[in-house]
């Protein structure tokens, strides 16, 4: 079976964030993930997890202005101290919410002549995050994001992810494989999963193009989910798509694949 989690930053956005936990539970999910939980208090999130019985398996370190078109936080040399402050905030949430992994978004570089400095800074900050999270049993993960949706993103391919994983050689760093982003870069995410399951700390999916639910684009999700199921990967697979229509109407895939066994 595949362990599916609901990304509450993308799903059930018809509702306030805290109400999305109830909606995910009622829809059949046993776990959730949030891109950035910091707009809600730790106590409110913990109470909602206890009330619903959901696990919160993933969230991100704060990424500053990344989603507003900026460079983000983790790779900008001038923002090193702000990144350290963000880690302190993240640890507060880790202690209470007990995720399986925390994602460190590499971010953008707007000045190509500074790319090497940005990559170096990201590597150092990611290693620092991995050291910081290790005592809590939480993996630091990072992902490639396509440069169509996010121009200038410094890590945008499976090969780059593997290269940085090898360079850093840290026992607490793993990869987040995002099916949508790799597909948008014309890569084969199924092949990546088959070849490198031991490197993966989390998987996310959406159909391409459009980033909608399974069945709205050109990905063969029967084949994809079979690949995940047979790969040996045993972590969580997050539904991180933008529903076409109401969220509940987008969940036909969940009943179909959640109970399908080898």
Catalytic residues: 143, 240
**Residues 125, 77: Cα–Cα separation, whole Å:** 10
Q: At 210, list the tokens.
A: 């459009």
Q: At 17, list the tokens.
A: 């964030």
Q: What is the CA radius of gyration of the chain?
A: 17
Q: Which of 206, 220, 213 is closest to 252 using CA atoms? A: 213
DSSP state at residue 27? H
Q: Which residue matches tokens 């702000």?
A: 82
Q: At 41, list the tokens.
A: 């208090």
**Residues 211, 184: Cα–Cα separation, whole Å:** 10
Residue pair 54/31 in contact (Cβ under 8 Å)? The answer is yes
């Amino acid at each position: 079976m595949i362990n599916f989690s609901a990304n509450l930053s993308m799903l059930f956005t018809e509702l306030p964030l805290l109400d999305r936990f109830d909606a995910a539970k009622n829809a059949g999910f046993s776990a959730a993930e949030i891109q950035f939980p910091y707009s809600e208090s730790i106590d409110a999130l913990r109470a909602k997890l206890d009330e619903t019985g959901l696990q919160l398996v993933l969230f991100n370190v704060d990424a500053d202005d990344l989603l507003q078109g900026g460079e983000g936080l983790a790779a900008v040399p001038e923002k090193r101290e702000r990144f350290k402050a963000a880690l302190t905030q993240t640890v507060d949430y880790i202690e209470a919410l007990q995720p399986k992994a925390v994602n460190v978004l590499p971010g953008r570089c707007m000045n190509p002549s500074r790319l090497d400095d940005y990559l170096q800074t990201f590597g150092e900050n990611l290693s620092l995050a991995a050291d910081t999270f290790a005592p809590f049993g939480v993996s630091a993960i990072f992902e490639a994001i396509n440069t169509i949706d996010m121009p200038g993103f410094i890590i945008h391919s499976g090969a780059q992810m593997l290269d940085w994983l090898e360079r850093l050689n840290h026992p607490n760093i793993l990869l987040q494989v995002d099916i949508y982003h790799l597909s948008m870069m014309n890569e084969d995410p199924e092949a990546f999963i088959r070849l490198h399951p031991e490197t993966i700390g989390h998987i996310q999916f959406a159909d391409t193009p459009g980033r909608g639910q399974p069945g709205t684009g050109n990905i063969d999700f029967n084949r994809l989910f079979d690949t995940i199921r047979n790969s040996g990967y045993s972590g969580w697979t997050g539904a991180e798509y933008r529903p076409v229509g109401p969220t509940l109407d987008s969940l036909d895939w969940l009943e179909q694949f959640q109970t399908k066994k080898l």
